Chains A and B, each alone.
Chain A
Amino acid sequence: MTKAELHDVVMVGAGPAALAAALYTTREDIDTVLYEKGVIGGLAAITDWVDNYPGFPDGLAGLDLSEKLQKQAERFGADIRLGAVLKITDKGEVKELETTDGLIQAKTVLIATGSDYKKLGIPGEEEYYARGVHYCATCDGAFYREKRLVVVGGGNSAVQETIFLTRFASHIDLLVRGDTLRASEVLQQELKKYSDKVAVHFNTTTQKIVGKDNKVTGVQGVSTKNGKNVNFETDGVFVFIGLLPNTSFLEGSGIALDDIGMIRTGDNLETSMPGVFAAGDVRSGATMQIASATGEGATAALMIRKYLEPHTH
């Protein structure tokens, strides 16, 4: 049997946290492999526009930022592989990782798998997935030229992507469960510029997505103010109601998670499995910002370097 390849660090995910960490580890000549099962750059890569990442005074497209982070990490030797890590097992001095390419071993692991958008869990959502129900505006918005849309959510992503969708849609109903938007003040002000196209409906829950002839035709909701049903005619629904951590592959690994499935770490970003670290949106207590993810990535890299020191003697 061929011996599994051994690396100093294997990073699970290649979003901003892992790419920043890889930049640091490779510059320390730490042999670094990243596995990405989705998009290099993570959610940042499918975000239309990023205005709050330091160093870019005019902002930049999320896809551009991701490509810059990738190039910078690869410049120093990061090996980014397109594949998934399916399981992590503690073998003491090394960790064994089952990947879609086979078994590999690592002296340390950084889990930076980030989060994905939550689903509503309402009737019609699954039935019309990708045929009227979407979670990626930058991917699917172009199919709604001069069409009506509903966007569900009230945070930064919902508002940012609503603004993006105004490029295509003739009208957007933004359904917000609470009585205010949770998005940043800057985004809220920006949204006001599109008041001719966007109607914001506060205190509105989303109950059902309805359709006919294989197409979405509307959204049924309820006003939490008066309990009355409200209906919105639409050709499509985009959902941005928060994030869920990508940690299902850790089930049975022994790595401690919090109540909502995010990875618990100590101050040094090490998880309950020695030599396994976590950074970015998947870490319990994360602030879900690209800037903090890259910062945590850098910190994790320095902690990994420290961990590797006695282990290389």
Chain B
Amino acid sequence: MPKNITVFTTNTCGYCLMVKKWLSAKGHTYEEVNLDTNPVRQQEAIALSGQLSVPITVITKQDDSKEVVIGYNPAKLAPAVA
């Protein structure tokens, strides 16, 4: 199990909703950073992903290493949160 999970989202992003649904369905809790209500964290999102796109899911492992999954991609999310 990861130490924590952060999902960067926007209000209108359908794929963000899917990431949140998928994490909940798999029993994971997460912190959501909404870039519409919290635009100051946009640079942090870009620095983490190297992309100008949400959703960005940051999984912090037990050893504090981080894995970043961009977009709604269950095939990448599943091993990352395992």
With A and B bound together, what is the CA distance between A138 and B9 in angstroms? 11
- Interface flags, B37-64, vs A, CB<8A=1, else 0: 0010010001000111111000000000
Q: 1/0 per position for A52-78, CB-CB distance to B under 8 A?
A: 000000000111001000000000000
- With A83-B74, A145-B39 known as contacts, the answer to whether A130 contacts B18 (CB < 8 A) is no
B52 in contact with A140 (CB, 8 Å): yes
Band of interface residues on B: 20 to 34
- In residues 104-158 of chain A, which contact B (Cβ within 8 Å)? 130-132, 134, 136, 138-145
**Cα-based distance from A23 to B16 in the complex (angstroms):** 25
Contact at B35–A41, with CB atoms within 8 Å? no
> B53 and A82: CB pair below 8 A?
no
Kindly state whether residue B32 has any CB partner on chain A within 8 Å. no
In whole Å, how far is A43's beta carbon from the nearest beta carbon of chain B? 9
The reply to whether A142 and B35 contact each other, CB–CB distance below 8 Å, is: yes
A139-B35 Cα distance, complex, nearest whole Å: 11
- Tell whether, in the assembled complex, residue B39 and residue A142 are in contact, meaning their CB atoms are under 8 Å apart: yes
**Is B17 in contact with A82, judged by CB distance below 8 angstroms?**
no
Does chain B have a CB within 8 A of A304?
no
Asked whether A142 and B36 contact (CB < 8 A) given A39-B15, A63-B14, A82-B21, the answer is yes
Is A130 a contact partner of B53 (Cβ separation < 8 A)? yes
Contacts of A45 in B (CB 8 A): 14, 17
Q: Which of A37, A130, A142 has the most CB atoms of chain B within a 10 A radius of its CB?
A: A142
**Residue among B14, B39, B54, B72 facing the most chain A CB atoms (10 A cut-off):** B14
**Cβ contacts A69-113/B at 8 Å (1 or 0 each):** 000000000000011000000000000000010000000000000
Q: Interface on A for B, CB 8 Å cutoff?
A: 37-41, 45-46, 48, 61-63, 66, 82-83, 100, 130-132, 134, 136, 138-145, 164, 214, 236
Q: Which 3 A-B pairs have the closest CB atoms?
A: A45-B14, A138-B12, A143-B52
